[in-house]
Amino acid sequence: MVAHTVLLDFTVSTNVIADADKRSNLKSTIANVLNDHFNGLKPFTEANIDGSFIILYTGPRGSLITVRGYPEGLVTINVEYYKRDEDDALLTFESTRDLETAMQAAATATRSHTLATIKRGGPFERYFPTSDERLLEYDIDKLVFEARSPYQKVQIVHSKSLGNLLVLDELQNMSEADLIYTETLMQRGKENYVGKEIVILGGGDGGLLWELLKEKPKHVIMLEIDDVVIKACSQHMRSICGDCLDKKKGDNYEIIVGDCVKALTHMIEEGRQFDYVFGDLTDIPISTTPHGDAWDFIRLILNSTMKVLKPSGKYMTHGNGASCPEALSMFEEELSQLSVPVKFKKDHAFIPSFFEDWIFYQVSRK
């Protein structure tokens, strides 16, 4: 049971909105077309705001229909109603397209467009943003797990095409279809992990740890702050993490639940060094300048990581979507200002659950 919102719009000449007689004719035309598609349509209220007109109608099954005409010639029509599971949709995509076609013809519009129905409410969310804040709808059909840890909201939902999907604070994080993410992050086939000592910062879904263990490293330490994520993925994401999250220590790995910054500080004090450090933490922030808590955290991680890497070691991390070049450029500028000179390479891969191309970095000392 969810609220359905149907959105369509069309464009007319600006003088149709500006001229009182033409605007009145347009309103009548819109009302006539709506009457043909909605039984029991009734005007509810009308207002004018900053040169635009707004008309509200009530329709069948408690629907509310909003019509707004802007001075620039854009006219939007929003239809909202509550759909119970046993009900048929008031408007299918096909019938909405029919409404759009009729409205465009009657209003002699220069263009028109219809969006698929937006569904809001219910036991799980269907919509998540891309890195540059475009809206994606997922084919999610079930909430598998939900809890709020001391650090974040943790959910695992099921997608018909992606399998189980880990969602942290309502952002898509990792799905069962995302092996390409892990393989690109670790540069599988390009890096040799045999006999190497490795640290993972974050990585609570276990995917990176599981794939690294297949490469026969000497030892891997995973530092993850959120035990709720670890336990949830151990139970519901086993296709990506195998059984490596079932226990905190194995023959050649250890999972430490705690603050990775404190752990890194302790490693620095002990003089420990590693062949690889993986940053599987927060994405590069999307901002106009590299300031704020998130950027401060990234700088802290970068500088601390350089102190625990062997001279020949590498820091491997993910960046953000390729559609955010400004944020990626700011991150690369931060790399040039670290306490030790570094060089970096980049790779990219299309990540199924992100529905976009993602950038990955490999950073090493000069």
Task: Give one DSSP letter per residue of 137-193, joined into a string.
Answer: E--EEEEEEEEE-SS-EEEEEEETTTEEEEEETTEEEEETT-HHHHHHHTTBTTB--
* CA contacts within 13 A on the Cβ side of 29: 19
Q: Which helix (H) or strand (E) holds 54?
A: strand 52-58
Write the CB contacts of 353 (distance below 8 Å, at least 6 apart in sequence). Answer: 159, 162, 165, 172, 173, 174, 175, 177, 178
Instruction: Set out the domains of the chain in order of their start, with CATH numbers.
Output: 2-119 (3.30.160.110), 123-175 (2.30.140.10), 179-365 (3.40.50.150)
Res. 152: pLDDT tops 90? yes
**Any alpha helices (H) in the chain, and if so which ranges?**
14-18, 20-37, 93-106, 179-185, 207-213, 227-236, 238-241, 260-270, 293-308, 325-335
Q: pLDDT tens for residues 90-115?
A: 999 999 999 999 999 999 999 999 99
- 280 included as an active-site residue: yes
- Tell me how long the chain is: 366
What is the pLDDT at residue 4? Answer: 96
Q: pLDDT tens for residues 343-355?
A: 999 999 999 999 9
Residue tagged active-site, from 85, 280, 347, 357 = 280
Report how far apart, in Å, the C-alpha atoms of 159 and of each of 137, 138, 139, 295 are.
Answer: 11, 7, 5, 32
Q: pLDDT tens for residues 26-68?
A: 999 999 999 999 999 999 999 999 999 999 999 999 999 999 9
Res. 285: pLDDT tops 90? no
What is the pLDDT at residue 192? Answer: 98
Residue that is written with structure tokens 């808590």 in the block: 293
Integer-rounded Cα radius of gyration of the chain? 26
What is the pLDDT at residue 287? Answer: 83
- Residue 198 burial class via C-beta count within 10 angstroms: exposed 0-12, middle 13-18, buried 19 and up: buried
**Of 79, 149, 88, the residue nearest 118 (C-alpha):** 79
Band (326; pLDDT cuts 50, 70, 90): very high
Task: Please say whether the beta carbons of 130 and 350 come within 8 A.
Answer: no
**Of 300, 250, 254, 253, the residue nearest 279 (C-alpha):** 300
Give the tokens for residue 184: 């690109």
Band (202; pLDDT cuts 50, 70, 90): very high
Write the CB contacts of 11 (distance below 8 Å, at least 6 apart in sequence). Answer: 73, 74, 75, 109, 110, 111, 112
Kindly report the average pLDDT of the chain as a whole number. Answer: 96
Distance CA 33, CA 45 (A): 18
